[in-house]
Structures are given as structure tokens and as C-alpha cells.
Amino acid sequence: MAAAGVGQQWVLVEMVQAFYEAPTYHLILEGILILWIIRLLFSKTYKLQERSDLTPKEKEELIEEWQPEPLVPPVPKDHPALNYNIVSGPPTHIITVNGKECINFASFNFLGLLDNENVKTAAQASLKKYGVGTCGPRGFYGTFDVHLELEERLAKFMRTEEAIIYSYGFATIASAIPAYSKRGDIVFVDEAACFAIQKGLQASRSNIKLFKHNDMADLERLLKEQETEDQKNPRKARVTRRFIVVEGLYMNTGDICPLPELIKLKYKYKVRIFLEESLSFGVLGEHGRGITEHFGINIDDIDLISANMENSLASIGGFCCGRSFIIDHQRLSGQGYCFSASLPPLLAAAAIEALNIMEDNPGIFQTLRAKCERIHKALQGISGLKVVGETFSPALHLQLEESHGSRENDVKLLKRVVDYCMNSGIALTQACYLEKEEKCLPPPSIRVVVTVEQTEQELDKAASLIKEAAQSVLN
Amino acid sequence: MERPGRAAAVAGAQPRANGCSGAGHGTLRNGYVRRFPAPDTQVDHIVHNGGLYKRPFNEAFEETPMLVAVLTYVGYGVLTLFGYLRDFMRQWKIEKCQNATEREEQKDFVPLYQDFENFYTRNLYMRIRDSWNRPICSVPGAKVDMMERVSHDYNWTFTYTGRVIKDIINMGSYNYLGFAQNTGTCQEAAAKVLSQYGAGVCSSRQEMGNLDKHEELEKLVARFLGVESAMAYGMGFATNSMNIPALVGKGCLILSDELNHASLVLGARLSGATIRIFKHNNMQSLEKLLKDAIVHGQPRTRRPWKKILILVEGIYSMEGSIVRLPEVIALKKKYKSYLYLDEAHSIGALGPSGRGVVDYFGLNPEDVDIMMGTFTKSFGAAGGYIGGKKELIDYLRTYSHSAVYATSMSPPVVEQIITSVKCIMGEDGTIVGKARVQQLAENTRYFRRRLKEMGFIIYGNEDSPVVPLMLYMPAKIGAFGREMLKRNIGVVVVGFPATPIIESRARFCLSAAHTKEMLDRALKEIDEVGDLLQLKYSRHRLVPLLDRPFDETTYEETED
């Protein structure tokens, strides 16, 4: 081995000469050493498992001894999530929950399109032509002409180059994020981001940096930190993609994201922005195009917009839109797109018709906004409950002003408020979360959803009823 | 050879922890023992542990002929060389670059894609892109209408001519029982529910989206599967990816078949459990992993595993193989682990009464802890389900990601499932469902037998309605798809990354809706194209056999 070390300094000729001059035993010894090195290089690294010297009998005993945990722990009989509300009949403006007729303040049917006759007729026509299922993923004869039409219409509606549809709202952003952001990339994400975003981030295995909810200073701090980090290792920085993932209107808080400031940060620090608009699409802006229209921002400044078609459009599924350069990539890399059956054509047809209605009645968004503002105002000043969310958010949260001991207690209290309202004909629901799974668990809340179908009297009635319920339960 | 798209992704998480290296293409698939010591061919590898099987289990994976393998690699080599050449020409603007490009304003951002990621797409996939995503404009039934499209720029963009190619025999859709229909009881029932309920739901199950229809569906599905309770979800893919994390977590072990579907892989990854891969349908490999796992416990911490979950599929959609369920169940019982069975392709399509792979083998559904499946395929609808013990379903109703965060299933889709399941069960008062199940089984055996007789290499189990026909060479992927479409037959062709790089194939999915005439026409055309493209690689001559070639006694019992 030492000879090899010295050998490096020799010129080639000398090496060959030395090789000829070396005694045979020396060559044999070196040969063996070389073979040994090769063996070491190519043999498997030793495995811990193989070092145990257990006899087969001992192994059998161990196997005999091992007791796994039960597949699932038992669920307590009184778990609030175990007994669902049963809705009989359509979940529209008037809804029958657990046998009681109520006005619906719980479903995200913002524009009231679930019950719309035109939408139903379009879906019926599609059902007559295509049947229900597609029997295949988009790649394998699961692409229908309606899918292409819907994608084109969505792209046109949003004024982007391209749109791509998914068959499940949740899977949309959860598939889109890991299509771009990979291991080693960095994602800056608002801590109030919804669960679908969290799952998408987890699937991407990227480096995740949470910033405080809507706190641009905190985001900038993180971006600056990253910038100093990058200066230390510019080679790595050149291949590390960065993304900011935010929601237009936050599902968990009802807040709007400060998009203009985000755009500034985007260009300053060269970070791409992914925007989840499930709550703001078909709600904000003059034509319902969402938060970009609300702020008057060039939509091309946002790298990717995703939204589901399960709220305003009252269908099923989701879509992403943006420039072709970005969106097209998902057609081969979006897992929920490639590996899942495509959207049933009747649901696509329903979404197309819903888009038609949105385009034909731009006034609908003003109506919705006025109603949101009305109930937001009416719900102020309830003792014990505070309203969280923008005045124009169609889904707002009622949180307890102060906690009554534990989360469990709070949930129970809010449930009593909900039950009280339900008994008097207003259907409400608490916002449900998986408490152990959420990254930053939002406080328990009642979610009040406004739709254009609710009349002003109904809005006032709901507000006064909630006030009454809070008074009787909380005081 | 690994599955880069699917299994290798998992293998990356746990690099070869099990010590099983991927099977080289020269080795025997599945570790089956040869029946005859044939000189250099091997055909039906006969299954052992005959005692566990109540019916014959014939699964064949003929070895790739050496010459074909070499030529396939040469083919990819040539394609790659040309790819580099054309990339070079694009760089020097000799060839026009058709790629969508980054915005001017964002040119100085970190590139969104790495160049080699797109090399394959740009230079290989783009050449044969017309074989996928073909848009159709009718029911995806036995025959289908397709929108004609042409490309004037070598598949970079397509334009629709406005013409419709009528009556293409559909060998691509997963319409196993022929429930993709726009007439009949299912459609009528769905239409009625649609007009009553509307298309969407606008809420999740735990909030305000639990309709009476959903409850009805779940009770029916539980009855259909023979389990205590069931829960339905809006998307098959998400059923796996959003429920596995609810069942296992850190400190648990997942043993996953190397060819499991992307959704199972994703679910396993999201769960945070340790993942180990066993060779496709190979029980020795599975048993070794089970034994080692229990004996050695968790790596580093040395604690025993909390629980072990085996993930398998009923029918593997790319191989056409059927899981060796009797053996899996025996192993699962012996090693006290839990079994998650994904019946995406097998529910409805297998078994005398269409109840999937458990029914096919005549086993007890209670022996499978988690019965998962989809409604997309046999039932002509959309969504997925999980069935099992009441405690399991109660737990999922409480903790499943779908139940809390995802919008619940569309009512007309639910109704389609209810009516089709009832039809299969005979609860609609007819024997239509039963007849369909039988028709599918007959079609399957007939089609597979004829293809084998023609001399194609066909993978998988003789009872599996998924029939992969091996093409191997990259140029033949596109050629086969196009030639078949010219002859008015729609087929699915698949290549890398859905299959190992040299094992490109065409895949036929049989349906109860296919008539004998359709199958005969398809077979005739496949025969013709097979001669044209020289696809008849098989080097053994199968004796045309009666439908059931073997009886129990031909199965030898061998233990290693």
C-alpha cells in the first residue's frame, strides 16, 4: 500500500521499470491486495440483520412472542365525528338535516348553482350521451371532448394560456405541488394553509418553511435568511427551486392574502408563487376570477393557480391554470391526473354550464359580496364569540373569545351553539380538522357560509339566532 | 430492472433494505420453479402450495428473448443519440424548438425543470404522443367514437379535424362488466337522482355532505363485499393515498409489492411508516421480509414494530397477474400482520359472483383486514371504498383525511354504483349481472387463449381480464397503437416509465360488453398487425387446450 502512495510521484516509465524489476512474491502479494480491495469495494456493506446469531428456534420464539398493536385503536362511542349529520334529499338552500328542515348555512354552494335547473339540464344531457363513468385515466381513453372543452373554457375564463382538470378537488393542489417541488427544493408556506396544501408539501418532500399567517415581514425574514444561506453555497442555490404557497382566501381563517406585496417579494427574491383559490374562485373580483382580479394583478405574475370546482361551480373536481410552460408539465407529472380515472363527463358538463352562468351574470358576485358584508356586520358584538375573516369572505369563522379550559370543552360548547341553531332551522357546522395531523391547528370554530340564495331576512335571522344561541350556551 | 415510475420511487425511500435486488430480465419472474427442465425456454411456471388453492392458478411470464432484449436496448440507444443530436441542433437554432418557454421576466429564476427530466419527453415520448390521450366523444363502452386529430408538427400540437371516427372497438377502457352505458336502469336511476339532488355536494362528509344516498351506498357495499361495514370516497386514487396514513404511522412497517400502483406508494409514503418492497407476487420474498422484520425489529432503535401492513393489489394492471391471496393470507396469519388488499381492477371482474379476488379463491372476506377497491372500473362510475370490520370503518369515519377535508361523492355517481352493484348481486330481480360476470370470464379465457396460440408473449394470469401483450421495442409502441387505430381498434400501449424500459407492451382490457364477433375481429387484426410488426416473439407452441387445462393433481407441492 505504501508503495502505491510513493508510486504516485513516479513517472510512468519508472513505474513500468519497477514493475519488471519487482520480485515475483512481491507482485503476487500486491495482486492479492488489489483483489482484496476489489472484493471490499464490491461486497455488500455488511447488514446489521445478518450479525445476529439467532438460531431458527429462537427466531420462531421471537415471532411467536411478538404482539402487534391493533390495526386501529377503538373510537370512543361519543366521539363527535362518529355520528355524521344525515342529509336527506338535496343539500341545497333548504336542507333536511337529521330529519329537520333548515336553511343551509353550511355548504359551500356560494352561487347557488347546485340547484340550478340549467346546470342540471346540461348534466342530464351529458349523462344521456356519455353515461356516468369514464372507465379510464386521461391517457387511456379517459379524455372526453367535454374535458377538453372544460379546460379550454376555464383557461379562457381565467385568461390564462392553459388549464388542467383533476377529478377530485383535494387532489388538485396536493398533486400539483409535488409535480414541481422536489426533494431539496424550498417551499415557503403560510402556516394557516389548508390540509390539501400540507399533504402536497409532504408528498413533495421539500424543505418547508412556515411563515406566520399573512405576515409579510416574517416571510421576508425567511427569504433573507435563505439569501444569506445561498450566498454561502451558490452552486447549490443555482439548482434549488423556491416556491411560495398561499391561499387566496384562507379556508381556515377566512382571511385574504396580501397578494400585491407577495408579488413584490416574488421578483425581489426570485421565488415562484402557487396560489390556492378554492374559496376565492367564483367569489372575488368583478367577474369572479378570484383574487388576482380583486387586486387587479396580472395573472401571469402568479406561476400557478389551483382551485376546486366543488364550491362556487357546485360540481366535483378541481383545476390548475397558468402558462402552458408550467401547466403542461402536470399532464405527465401530476400524480392525481395521470393515475386517476378522469372526471365523470356529467360533472364536467355541470361545471361548463356553471361557468356559462357566471359569465352571463357578473352581478351575482356583487350580490354575494353584499350578503357577506351584511352577515359579517350582523354577527359583530356577540358576547363570547368573535368573527374571524374578511367582510367579503363567503365563509367566515366564529371563534370563542376565550377558551373554556380545553379544546374538547370548546368544541362541545360550540356544538351546543350549532345544535341550538339547527333546532331553530339554521343549518350550521363546525369547521372539522384532524387535530393530530394539522401542522398548525386552527382554534375550534363555527363556519358560517353565505350563498346568494339566502335572503336578507334569512341572513338576519341566522345572525340573531346565533346571537341568541351564544347567549344561552355561553353565558 | 426496476419500475422507475412506481416501485423504484419507494425503493428510494428504503434503498434495498430488504436485500432483494430487482429481478434482472434474464431471471425467472416471480421465482417460479420451472415445470420442465426445458433447454432455453420456459413457459407456464406452475404454482406450488397447491393445498391452499381451491382452483388452478396459471400465471405465465415468458422470458424476454435475448435477441429482442438486445435489439430493444439498441433501439433506445439510437433514439437517445438522435435525441442528443436534435437537442444540439435546437440549441444552435438549426431546428425550431417547439417547447413552451419560461416568461422573459422570470428567465433569471432557478429553472423549474431540470433538463434531463425533459429529455425523455422531448425526444422519445413526443414521437409517439398520438398514442395517448386520444379524445373520445361517446360512451366508453364496447365500441367508442373518437375525435379525429392530426398533427402537422410531429405531435407537438394537435388539431381536430372535426370528423369523428365511429365505432372503434374499445379494448382500452376498464369497462369490465359493461356498465359504461348511456341507457338502461343504471342511467335512468342516475338521471333521476341527478334531477333531484344536483351534481355536486359542496361539503365534506363530516360537515354537511353526508347524504342519505351515501349511507345507502355504504350499507350496500358492505353487504356486497361480505364485510361488517364500508365507507365510500370520491376518488379511487385518494382512497389509497388518504387512508393509508390514517392506519399506519411512524414505528409501523409497510410491506409493499414492487408493482403496486402509484396511489398505494403515495399513501405509504405519506403515512411516515417504514416501507420495504417485496418482489412482485413472490411469497418467499414476502415471508423473508416478514420474518426478518419481526425478529430484528425496527432499525437502530431495536424496538419491535408496532404493526406490519402488507399492501397488495387484486389484479396488477400492468402485468395482468392475480395476487396469490391464499398464500398471502396464510403468511399474514402466521406473522400476525395486517393485509390491505386493493381491488381496483379485480372487484366485479373476478370471482363467480363478481366479488373480487376473495370470491375468486373462495376465501373468507374477514381474513382480509382492509378491503379497498374502486368504483371506476367494473361499476362504470367513479370513486373508491374501504370495507372491513366495524371498528376499522368507525375509525376511518373519524380520522380519514377524505371524510374531513374532501367533498363527498356526487349523488348521481353514487346512484350509478348502487344500481350496478344491485345488478351484480341479482337484487334487481334479474340475472343480467351474473350473466355479465360469466361473459367476462369467458371472454377473458377465449381472448387470452387465442392470443397465445398466435404466438404472442402474453403476461399474467389466464383468468385476468387485463391482458398485456409484449411489444418490447420502443418503435413498436407507436406503430402498434397506430396500426390498430387504422383498423378501428382502440388499444392502450405503455412503455417506460410505467413499465421497465425494455418491457413495453400493449394492454387489452376485456369487457362483458364485447361480443364474440368483436373479439374475433380484434383478434384477426391483432394477428395481422402482429405479423406486420413481427410481434410473435413466443418461442413455445402452446397446444390449443380446453378451457380448463389442468386439474388439481398436476400441482406438485414443494417447499423450499
Task: For residue A140, list chain B residues with Cβ-Cβ distance below 8 A.
Answer: 132, 172-173, 492
Pairing of strands A100-104, A426-427: parallel
Instruction: Give the three-state DSSP class for B149.
Output: strand
CA-based nearest distance B274→chain A, Å: 15
Residue A57: pLDDT above 50? yes
Least CB-CB distance to B181: which of A131, A141, A168? Answer: A131
Residue A426 is predicted with a pLDDT of 95
Q: Can you read off the three cell numbers belonging to residue B134?
A: 386520444
Can you give the pLDDT at residue B9?
36
Q: B105: buried, middle or exposed (CB in 10 Å: 19+, 13-18, 0-12)?
A: exposed
* CB within 8 Å: A195 and B404: yes
The set of cell numbers assigned to B501 is 424500459
Q: What is the pLDDT of residues B459-474, one digit of tens each?
A: 999 999 999 999 999 9
- Whole-number average pLDDT of chain A: 91
- Name the residue of chain A whose CA is nearest to B508's CA: A140
What is the pLDDT confidence band of residue A119, given thresholds at 50, 70 and 90?
A: very high
* Weakest-pLDDT range from A399-408, B16-25, B110-119, B273-282: B16-25
A72 in contact with chain B, both atoms CB, cutoff 8 A: yes
Q: Is A343 on the interface with B (CB under 8 A)?
A: yes
Confidence check: pLDDT of A399 > 80: yes
Mean per-residue pLDDT, B342-366? 94
Interhelix angle B66-91/B474-486, nearest 10 degrees: 90
When pLDDT is cut at 50, 70 and 90, the band that residue B101 belongs to is confident
Over pLDDT 70: what percentage of chain B?
A: 87
When mean pLDDT is compared over A69-83, A325-339, B19-33, the highest value belongs to: A325-339
Q: What is the pLDDT of residue B495?
A: 87
Q: Do A84 and B492 touch (CB under 8 A)?
A: no
pLDDT recorded at residue B58: 81
> For position B10, what pLDDT does the model report?
36
pLDDT at A45: 62
A299: which residues sit within 8 A by CB, 6+ positions away? A158, A159, A160, A289, A292, A305, A322
> What does the block give as the cell for B246?
390514517
Tell me the C-alpha distance between A324 and B351, whole Å.
45
Q: Which residues contact B120 (CB under 8 A, 6 or more apart)?
A: B496
Rounded Cα distance between B512 and B354, Å, is 12
Which residue of B125, B208, B242, B296 to mutate against A (max A Cβ within 10 Å)?
B208
> Which residues of chain A lie closer than 8 angstroms to B125, CB-CB?
332
pLDDT tens per residue, range B47-76: 445 567 877 888 878 888 889 999 999 999
Nearest residue to A281 via CA among A319, A252, A255:
A319
Whether B172 has a pLDDT exceeding 60, the answer reads: yes
Q: Mean pLDDT, to the nearest integer, of A2-20?
A: 63
- Distances in Å between the Cα of A305 and the Cα atoms of A266, A270, A291, A292, B92 are 15, 18, 10, 10, 34
Mutate to test the interface with A, among B407, B418, B510, B560 (most CBs of A within 10 A): B407
Contact B506, B483 (CB under 8 A): no
Nearest to B164, CA basis, from B488, B465, B413? B488
A46 pLDDT tier (thresholds 50, 70, 90): low
Residues of chain A numbered 383-422 and touching chain B (CB < 8 Å): none
Contacts of B215 in chain A (CB under 8 A): 86
Residue B536 to residue B275: CA distance in whole angstroms: 39
Q: CA torsion angle for B13, B14, B16, B18 (degrees, to 10)?
A: -150
Q: Do B212 and A86 touch (CB under 8 A)?
A: yes
Which ipTM value was assigned to this complex? 0.88
Q: Single out the residue of B34, B24, B35 nearest to residue B66, CA to CA.
A: B24
Residues B375, A108: C-beta atoms closer than 8 Å: no
Per the structure block, which three cell numbers stand in for A89? Answer: 334529499
Distance CA A335, CA A112 (A): 32
Paired residues of A301 in beta bridges = none
Matching residue, cell 344531457: A125
A-B contacts (CB, under 8 Å): 369
The percent of residues in chain A predicted with pLDDT above 70, rounded, is 96
Check CB contact under 8 Å for A107 and B100: no
Which residue of chain A has the CA closest to B188? Answer: A128
* ω into B497 cis (within 30 of 0): yes
Q: Which residues contact B308 (CB under 8 A, 6 or more apart)?
A: A68, B252, B253, B254, B255, B290, B293, B294, B335, B336, B337, B338
Q: Does pLDDT of B33 surpass 50?
A: no
Summarize pLDDT for A215-247 with one digit per residue, the tens: 999 999 999 999 999 999 999 999 999 999 999
Return the pLDDT at A52.
60
- The two beta strands, B489-490 and A242-247, are unpaired
CB spacing of A132 vs B381 below 8 angstroms: yes
Interface check A144 vs B, CB under 8 A: yes
C-alpha cell at B346: 379485480
Which of B370, B365, B367 is CA-nearest to residue B395? B370
Q: Is the pTM of this model over 0.95?
A: no
Q: How far is A439 from chain B (nearest CA, A)?
A: 14
Q: Do B369 and A71 touch (CB under 8 A)?
A: yes
Q: Across the interface, do A340 and B140 touch by the CB < 8 Å criterion?
A: no
Within 8 A of B199 by CB-CB distance, chain A residues are 114, 119-120, 123, 314-316, 346-347, 350
In the structure, what pLDDT confidence band is assigned to residue B100 with cuts at 50, 70 and 90?
confident
Contact, B10 vs B256, CB < 8 A? yes
Answer whether residue B540 shows pLDDT above 80: no
Of A72, A93, A432, which to mutate for an interface test with B (greatest number of B Cβ within 10 Å)? A72
- Test B307 with A68 for CB contact under 8 angstroms: yes
Q: Which pLDDT value is given to residue A372? A: 95
Sheet strands (E) in B88-189:
143-150, 159-170
Question: What is the rounded radius of gyration, in angstroms, for the C-alpha atoms of chain A?
Answer: 30
Question: Looking at A82-91, A273-282, B17-26, which range is the least confident one?
Answer: B17-26
pLDDT at A445: 95
Neighbouring C-beta atoms of residue B468, cutoff 10 Å: 27
Greatest CA separation found in chain B?
A: 73
Give pLDDT tens digits for A405-430: 899 999 999 999 999 999 999 999 99
- Output the CA–CA distances (angstroms, integers) from residue A328 to A1, A114, A303, A338, A436, in the order listed: 56, 30, 12, 12, 35
| The predicted structure's pLDDT at residue B29 | 42
**Nearest partner of A330 among A146, A203, A200, A180, judged by Cα:** A180
Find which of B146, B213, B405, B415 to mutate to test the A interface (most A CBs within 10 Å of its CB).
Answer: B405
Residue A195 near residue A335 (C-beta atoms within 8 A): no
Under 8 Å between Cβ of A303 and A274: yes
- Per residue in A155-201, pLDDT tens? 999 999 999 999 999 999 999 999 999 999 999 999 999 999 999 99
Report d(CA A462, CA A470) in Å as an integer.
Answer: 12
pLDDT value for B497: 80
For residue B30, how many other CB atoms are within 10 A of its CB? Answer: 22
pLDDT, tens digit, 9 for 90 and up, residues B478-494: 999 999 999 999 999 99
CB-based contact, A201 to chain B, within 8 Å: no
pLDDT surpasses 50 at B21: no
The percentage of residues in chain B with a pLDDT greater than 90, rounded to a whole number, is: 73
The secondary structure element, H or E, covering residue A74 is: none
